[in-house]
Amino acid sequence: MPFTLEIRCDNAAQPLLADAVATLFADYSPGAPPQGPPTKSKLTGGGFRFEVSGEPVELELVLGFNVKLPSATIKQRRWVGLPPSVVLDDTTAPAVSTTVLAAHQIYAVRNRHLVPIANASAFGSSPHPLLSAPKPIAGGMSITVQTGFVDVTALWMNRAIDADRYKALHQPGSRLVALAFTDPGGPLIWFAVIPDVCQRESKISCVVFFRPTGHYQYASLDDRRLDAYPLNRYLISPREKLEIQQRDAWAFDRFFVYHPADKPPDAIEVYRDLCVGMEKALVASGKRAILLIPWPSGSDFGSAPNAKLLPLVSRVLHLLWSKGLVAKGASEVNLNRLALAGFSSGAGQLFQSLGRNGETVSEVYAFDCERMDLLAEQARKWAKVSGRRLRMTAGLDKTIKANQTLRDQLVDEDKKDPDHVSADPKDDTSAWDAGANPWWDYVTSLGKGNKNDIDAVRAARQIRHQFAMFGGRDPTRVESYFAEFLRRSTL
């Protein structure tokens, strides 16, 4: 009687999973009658069915999901002149082919059941982390491949505008993985920053960061609108000196004036989106924690703030484990602690997620969050619990007052440990004066700008708003707010 093995996968209709390759090898006892190789057919709805003849003693399964994109014309950002203006040039992205998910597992066949044989070098005493435990079906067994997240780093780096600038300016100590979330709820693209220190750790913490809403829309990994700059800005560390002015002006560590290409030639604006350096802060903290960023399409975060985060983070950790980026050689990988962070209009997603996942969240980092006065009661209710940490920054006067009021209520009325709740700056009157914060003085110096220009920049609401994300209190400009929060965390 033939033995049947069915291979199914989650979200099989997702185009990224269309090119699946599966091979099954069968081994027999010495002296057993010769048998032909297993026969393969496709299952309705995706997956494969193998029919194995005879009485095999071992089955070896090799799986891969491949994606190919043709060459395409994309844009490349260039800064021209001093003060610079932004120009987008056409460039050719070559054809790319990559395996977004792979799995290899050997099974012993015992009484027509499959028993995974541990791969000690990669997953300790455990079977492949993306393959479910075999389940009995008529005539054999069934295995499900966990394809909720797949690795699309090669596709992102091929298609996204300015992805090459990330490669040029990225610093050692961590690795960026672009993920595709195959669930129809989306968002399609997520990013994970994995510090090298996590490679051998089996208990990994996670900071989920909700960036502001309303950037470009995209529909696939072959979308010409993909742009790495809005990601690079958060991850890359700012530079005091730039080697390639025309390509990397955006990485300068101070505000500067520029001519926007889509406005009249005499129009001048101040570049305000200074780099945040989240990668460096994460690495410097030494925490066994990853940074996870769901990437909205326009303002649509899909199910990211709605779904229970624990299953999603678990899927990400298992994919990273399968690639040897975390828990290498360990028999399991588990989430240690969970933190949520949000900036500006990302406050909506931050607090929506907190409302649905608050019992599992140990820390919250709120960077000049919109409507903080309206969200304060929710934040207070969550933060009252002993041990939870709430860190807040602000740039807008209204948010400064809301943050400080919330902190005072938690410390004075709720007897919250003062070390577990912080709000910066402490007031909206003297915080922006010259000499109040050396970091603020530095970034608003505008190089050789005149006093009137500097005063105008320091008074600008949006400039202060951005400082709440990338700035800090350390007079040596070594430690950003994010770096400080990580250093003082329990992650």
Which pTM was predicted?
0.95
| Residues with Cβ within 8 Å of residue 228, at least 6 apart in sequence | 156, 160, 161, 162, 163, 165, 166
| Residues with Cβ within 8 Å of residue 198, at least 6 apart in sequence | 204, 288, 289, 290, 325, 326
Per-residue model confidence as pLDDT tens digits over 199-245: 999 999 999 999 998 889 999 999 999 999 999 999 999 988 877 67
* pLDDT grade for 476, boundaries at 50, 70 and 90: low
Q: ∠335-341-345 over CA atoms, to 5°? A: 145
Examine the pLDDT at 448 and tell me if it is beyond 60: no
Say how far apart CA 436 and CA 429 lie, in whole Å. Answer: 11
Per-residue model confidence as pLDDT tens digits over 58-86: 999 999 999 999 999 998 888 877 677 88
The reported pLDDT for the residue numbered 80 is 79
Examine the pLDDT at 164 and tell me if it is beyond 90: yes
Q: What is the mean pLDDT of residues 19-34?
A: 94
Residue appearing with tokens 């043709």: 70
Task: Name which of 141, 63, 140, 58 is nearest 107 in CA terms.
Answer: 58
| Residues with Cβ within 8 Å of residue 324, at least 6 apart in sequence | 122, 199
Strand partners, 296: none
Say how far apart CA 93 and CA 254 lie, in whole Å. Answer: 32
Say how far apart CA 145 and CA 438 lie, in whole Å. Answer: 53
Per-residue model confidence as pLDDT tens digits over 340-351: 999 999 999 999
Per-residue model confidence as pLDDT tens digits over 385-431: 999 999 999 999 999 999 999 999 999 999 999 999 999 998 777 88
Q: Provide the H-helix boundaries in 273-422.
A: 278-285, 309-322, 347-357, 372-383, 397-408
Fold that domain 150-487 belongs to in CATH: Rossmann fold (3.40.50)
Residues 134/111, Cβ–Cβ less than 8 Å:
no
The reported pLDDT for the residue numbered 475 is 63
User: Mean pLDDT score of the chain, rounded to an integer?
Assistant: 92
Domain segments of the chain: what residues? 3-76+100-146, 150-487
- Residue 229 φ then ψ, to 5°: -55, -45
Q: What is the mean pLDDT of residues 139-148?
A: 95
Return the SS3 of 11.
coil
